[in-house]
Structure 1
């Protein structure tokens, strides 16, 4: 028991050392924060453009949401091979600048009257490919920049930025859509990616040497298979992947149609939707501030399992998101606030745990496989949400998703993850 407490104290001490004085991390963190801010605007603006400008149907909303995340399912595994084989910093820069160009096309298409659902989905899909590379790349580059004891704090800071962006981005997007148009709100996203790319280009990181010619010609399929073996061969990684995938599938059944439900059936304006997302995102901000302390105090396992359980509980409040506008707003706020609180803690803990138990040279493939599984189900969930929304209605679809999401925590609760302390488990290897 004393040994475990000492390990937790060591983790807490390492977390406090160095990051605020680490210029490379601060530049990467600042760029990532700006990118997240812009992405939050687009997350709000894209579906509002589809609903209010292009009059999208529930099915089309499902397709749009699916298009954003389909690249994780189609290209996630091979992206991990590229991240492991190529220098990561140039990949991050290219992904940022490429997304800036793609999102910059949306207002241009609208200006010439050429924007339609098909083109909106195409841009979302192509940007999703670059997001796939970026998200795997930045998770894989952190262990080369920081010590293991600093990873929890670094991931907490990244999640804090995501949370703050979640507070400010949707509200600003709602105002811009209300006062101008959604397509021009997306201009801010494009600019944020440009700044992020510039900041990342100034980062200096000691990356591994490129593979020698013989190694570089090794089978891509073999490398992808190795990534699958890393995840599925580990009871902990396997159960985390299953838990996250189950949550994402049912959560995105709801998210695909939530804005359509809020505008068409509840009568919310873009400003009211932005206000709802802004207020509810404060839960994620609070949890980002305390997540590293929770892990240091209780260990990875209890925090991962407990936060996964709370994600399911948060969904129950969506049962009350019907009827009067004020009551529906209140229930949506409580549900989204608690979901943000639990999800941020869960993400900080499970990502840091994964990074701590995986060899650095395998991080790209491990992260890619996890993304392939965890985010690969998002388009499937979105498509299911759009289809069910058309078939049985929007509110019944939301309730169906809530019931399914409540069971996701069982994957980690019934696995060795539950007893994990600092990258080791009792009775099983990670």
Structure 2
């Protein structure tokens, strides 16, 4: 099934994490998913149920990759939607517009709507009815009410949904203490949460008290059969930066690299570790702007990275790209020297949100990929480019085909861009 909503902030994550934990506690091998290009929520899903969570992205992922994602096994699959159920881009991509509704249509999975009913009553029936009828190929199977103020409020909301012909699967009372801390790119990362297991356990207890879990399990439908999808690794042995500053990499990429026979060797720049012996070094995105001073002081890491780049490929995505540059200006306006392998200078002090799907055509090779290769990915950051003097790595457009100035850079064995790679265009 897909847990969705009319918009962000309705309570999808509370329901998703609580449901995953409840199912795991009941002995169900539940396979979690996240619709759209999100690299933070999947870590929370894993913490809730003990299984790796994978993305389902109809704009960026071709059919073969989507089918492979849907063939992850388990007794039951639950996907958390993104934004509103029908929200996507205007121009369809590999398999759709990126909307969660696309995945509901492609899989036939039922949709459970989470509705924040604050400030409304019977009208929520009209909202749910409109969503249920908006796309004939999407089946809205039921509703969970969230932030219910009183028994009377609950009763009035149920009257509206009964008129709409939609079952109420649960009603969650208003609770101000059930929230996770947030940061500028979304939730604070799972590894940084001081007491995540206790928070998820509280979500699960909340759902058990107020949601019909048996009815939810009865709604679950079968998935789409999978078929192989090849994801080319950037090298046979990959040195992967992995810590609180470098953690944004899509799980399906790592899984695809391993399936193709690559070995992934993690290391921590924040622990001042140099890249291990490998064919390629990959610096994912994350929050280097919050750790710029520690990175600048990590002499062993920086010296090892520079030595590595003399003979072997190094690639940085988003935050990793910023670290490959000359200077990173933090939120307080302090300039920190980075690796200097590219001429890039970026500033988190000058914040402006850059968000959206990206289609890239490589103007130069990057690890494992030749010039001319077309890639689909996603960009999400607040840092601003002050200078980007090296040769562009790619020609990059948004989902509507409009060119964007964040083309990435390349110099010698080093490449990087703000693009978070999702899939190669077949």
Give 1 or 2 for the bigger CA radius of gyration: 2
User: How does the TM-score come out when normalised to structure 2?
Assistant: 0.25
More helix by share: 1
User: How does the TM-score come out when normalised to structure 1?
Assistant: 0.25
